[in-house]
Amino acid sequence: MSVDNEILKELYRRMILVRFMEEAHDRLLREGKFQLMGHFGTGQEAVSIGVTGPLRREDILFGTHRGVGEFIGKGMSPRDIWFEYMGKKEGLCHGKGGVHLCDRANNIPGLVATLGSDFSISVGTALASKMKKTEQVTLYYVGEGTCNQADAHPSMCMAALWKLPVVFAVCTNQFCELSYMCEHYPTQDVAPRAAAYDIPYNIVDGQDVETTYEATRTAVEHARAGNGPYLVEYKTFRMSTHFSGDPGGYVNPADLEEWKGKDPIELCRKKILERGILGEDEDREFRGGIQAEVDEAVSAAFAGTDPSVEDLFKDVYSREGVI
Amino acid sequence: MGRTITYSQALNEAMAEEMRRDASVFVIGEDVRVSPFGQTAGLVNEFGEERVLNTPIAENAITGAAMGAALQGMRPVLELMFMDFTMLAMDQLCNNLGQWRYITGGQYSIPLTIRTACGGGMRMGYGHSQCLESQLIQAPGLIIVEPSTPYDAKGLLKAAIRSDDPVIVVESKKLIFGGVEGEVPDEDYTIPFGEAVVRKEGKDATVVALGFMCYEALGAAQELAGEDIDIEVIDLRSIVPMDKDTIFGSVEKTGRLITVEEGRIRGGVGAEISALAAGEYHGLLEAPVQRVAAPMVPIAVSPALEDLYLPNKDSIVRAVKRTL
């Protein structure tokens, strides 16, 4: 499976950007410079970037707490993310969302705090697209841990029943918070659950960004053509802990060692070099440019404005005087 | 000119008129095509199955789905058949629905209306009879109204459907099943949120009642009039926002306050009004506030027990007398 060189270079850029964004977050936490807890997605960048790659701007994305991958992939800028992460007024949610990123211009309607609440919300946005006869597809990006929420089932049921343009993109990173997946699942895979609702599904390697991109493109085209929902499960491995500062100790070191050799960015880099898309020096410069972009965004956010007491009471209701 | 219609017809007309007026309005819920209690009956004939959408039995998920549609500019009217069932949707109602606008910094509004039927007296027992308004008033960002007449039902539901904020319209089963009638104007109208209405003027005590309890309060007023006690009866209509001016304007006149609701007493709507009375409006009271509400017990199916549970005219009369 191979994608166009220009697309591959862009997917490579986004994956590096995600990695650098999360590394910066981790560094700032360790340095005690800010407090927002991090839920990093190290090692699963080919999934978050591959699943968002085929989406159009008008398509709708529901993402996860696990890092910034899908938000970067859907078009959010590092600046917009950092302003929000630091709780600044300049953030798109004026600092009220923080990790719950929302970017209306890029059709990211927000991120729930209670895992899985958005399973059904994503079905609702797809329902609206169908009722309004738009070409929009909703992509619901979710971890395998969250797929055990009860709402997963009526959500898949409604999506299939009403033949809605929604793609369920399940990132199986082998961990459900602080437990191995096998402690939560009697099965190896999540995807076959889709068959119970007559939803077609596919299970693919989550380390190769070309594979994740192409598998998602197929699913998105299926949904956009009016054929109803589709579920894709991507197999990857979370190299980071559940949250920054979690107690750790639950990951088998042999697993970490094994998956280190399957780093999605390194895999992509090899292809980039092999295909002559970038040379070694160009690649170094390319990465340097991305790091500079992250550093600039972090500095800008540190210089941002804190919201005020007026902001505390603003935007609870669409009109004044209700509180 | 006006027409006399039932409470249920008023709700039905409100939905039909708003669906005619705005193509983004649609009805969604369990069995809304047939409509077990009749509020949405017949809508499918005029608007088709696409705009009158039957759902699986999954309250939290259908609330999420309606919310998602509203995020994309639709104006769903979701039915959660019994108010007891709203407890199955608490995650969406209290964690997401009312807070979404705020946490997105005003990027998204949720123009979603949720209708739900509350109240006992039907011998339906513990899980089909409750009034659970107090479970919802803690959530920021929701508007909560409870009409007691056909006029209010139609006007408030139409206002809810046009609102950019999520609105919960609490309907009373006794008013739906009881076929209570009232006049509505022929022309289009809405009722603003946050406006209570004085159902009966009086000078001796202020009774603030919610939903069906307004009728019990009016019954109490009649009985007390025989003893030369002249109470003012206020129909709260809107729980959030609350019309403090009308309530405490009345208390300023009477010096006495009695709250009446069918929900349970602990942490109830009456408790909220009492707290306002004890705090912001302390100087107005000439007697301790009395709360008439249901006791902290489940609702039994036994008619004898349910009748003992429900607040009524007699308990209101007794409460009024305690303030005099």
Which residues on chain A are in Cβ contact (under 8 Å) with B101? 315-318
- The answer to the question of residue B163 being in a domain is yes
Q: How confident is the model at residue A283 (pLDDT cuts 50, 70, 90)?
A: very high
Which of A101, A318, A319, A320 has the highest number of chain B CBs within 10 A, making it the mutation to test binding with B?
A318
**How confident is the model over B56-107, as pLDDT tens digits?**
999 999 999 999 999 999 999 999 999 999 999 999 999 999 999 999 999 9
Q: Torsions phi, psi of B79, nearest 5?
A: -105, 125
Express as a percent the part of chain B with pLDDT over 90: 99
pLDDT for residue A245: 87
The domain limits of chain A are: 5-76+104-300
Strands (E) across chain B are located at 2-6, 25-29, 52-54, 75-82, 113-118, 143-145, 167-172, 181-185, 197-200, 205-209, 231-235, 238-240, 257-264, 290-294
**CATH of span A5-76+104-300:** 3.40.50.970
Same domain, B158 and B213: no
- Asked if B77 contacts B25 with a C-beta cutoff of 8 angstroms, the reply is yes
- Asked if B60 contacts B53 with a C-beta cutoff of 8 angstroms, the reply is no
Which residues on chain B are in Cβ contact (under 8 Å) with A112? 95-96
B105 and A102: CB-CB below 8 Å?
Answer: yes
**Distance of alpha carbon A304 from alpha carbon A306, whole angstroms:** 7
pLDDT tops 80 at residue B282: yes
Count of domains for chain B: 2
**Distance of alpha carbon A19 from alpha carbon A41, whole angstroms:** 8
The three-state secondary structure class of A85 is: helix
- The answer to the question of residue B191 being in a domain is no
Of B66, B96, B194, the CB nearest to A112: B96
Residues 6+ apart with CB under 8 A from A115: A65, A145, A146, A149
Residue in A with minimal Cα distance to B74: A128
| Run of H or E including A110 | none
B74 and A128: CB-CB below 8 Å?
Answer: yes
pLDDT for residue A1: 67
Same domain, B63 and B135: yes
pLDDT for residue A322: 83
Tokens for A36, please give them.
């927002």
Which of B96, B103, B165, B238 has the highest number of chain A CBs within 10 A, making it the mutation to test binding with A?
B103
A109 and B71: CB-CB below 8 Å?
Answer: yes
pLDDT, mean of residues A50-64: 98
pLDDT for residue A320: 81
Q: How far is B143 from chain A (nearest CA, A)?
A: 8
Whether residue B303 is preceded by a cis peptide bond, meaning omega within 30 degrees of 0, is: no
The three-state secondary structure class of A6 is: helix
pLDDT, mean of residues B161-173: 98
Which ipTM score applies to this complex?
0.96
**How confident is the model over A147-156, as pLDDT tens digits?**
999 999 999 9
Tokens for A193, please give them.
């659950």
User: Best-predicted range by mean pLDDT among A30-34, A234-238, A242-246?
Assistant: A234-238
**Distance of alpha carbon A101 from alpha carbon A109, whole angstroms:** 8
Question: Which of the listed residues B185, B208, B223 is the one where a domain comes to its end?
Answer: B185
- Asked if B198 contacts B243 with a C-beta cutoff of 8 angstroms, the reply is no
Domain that holds residue B312: 197-322
Residues 6+ apart with CB under 8 A from B151: B10, B182, B183, B184
- Asked if A223 contacts A229 with a C-beta cutoff of 8 angstroms, the reply is yes
B108 and A150: CB-CB below 8 Å?
Answer: no
**Distance of alpha carbon A290 from alpha carbon A22, whole angstroms:** 13
Which of A131, A162, A163, A168 has the highest number of chain B CBs within 10 A, making it the mutation to test binding with B?
A131
Residue length, chain B? 324
Of B65, B107, B141, the CB nearest to A158: B65
Q: Based on the residue annotation, tell me whether B282 is a catalytic residue of this protein.
A: no
Enumerate the β-bridge partners of residue B208: B234, B259
- The answer to the question of residue B222 being in a domain is yes
Judging by DSSP bridges, how do beta strands A179-180 and A175-176 pair with one another? antiparallel
Q: Taking all residues of chain B, what is their mean pLDDT, rounded to a whole number?
A: 97
- Asked if B203 contacts B169 with a C-beta cutoff of 8 angstroms, the reply is no
A318 and B101: CB-CB below 8 Å?
Answer: yes
Of B56, B109, B240, the CB nearest to A157: B56
| Residue B142: CATH number of its domain | 3.40.50.970
Same domain, B14 and B72: yes
Does B49 reach chain A within 8 Å, measured CB to CB?
no
Sign, CA dihedral A241-A242-A247-A249, equals negative
**Distance of alpha carbon B319 from alpha carbon B136, whole angstroms:** 26
Which residues on chain A are in Cβ contact (under 8 Å) with B96? 112, 114, 117, 121
Residue in B with minimal Cα distance to A92: B105
pLDDT tops 80 at residue B1: no
SS3 content of chain B, % helix, strand, coil (to 5): 40, 20, 40
Cβ–Cβ contacts within 10 Å for residue A10, how many?
Answer: 14
| Residue B317: CATH number of its domain | 3.40.50.920
Which residues on chain A are in Cβ contact (under 8 Å) with B114? none
- Asked if B246 contacts B193 with a C-beta cutoff of 8 angstroms, the reply is no
- Asked if A207 contacts A267 with a C-beta cutoff of 8 angstroms, the reply is yes
Q: Torsions phi, psi of A317, nearest 5?
A: -120, 165
Cα torsion through A151, A156, A157, A158, rounded to 10: 90
- The answer to the question of residue B192 being in a domain is no
Q: What part of B 174-233 touches A (C-beta under 8 Å)?
A: 193-194
- The answer to the question of residue B190 being in a domain is no
Of A109, A151, A318, the CB nearest to B61: A151
Cα torsion through A169, A175, A180, A183, rounded to 10: -50
pLDDT, mean of residues A176-198: 97
- The answer to the question of residue B63 being in a domain is yes
Does B62 reach chain A within 8 Å, measured CB to CB?
yes
Same domain, B148 and B47: yes
**Distance of alpha carbon A8 from alpha carbon A2, whole angstroms:** 9
Q: How confident is the model at residue A2 (pLDDT cuts 50, 70, 90)?
A: confident
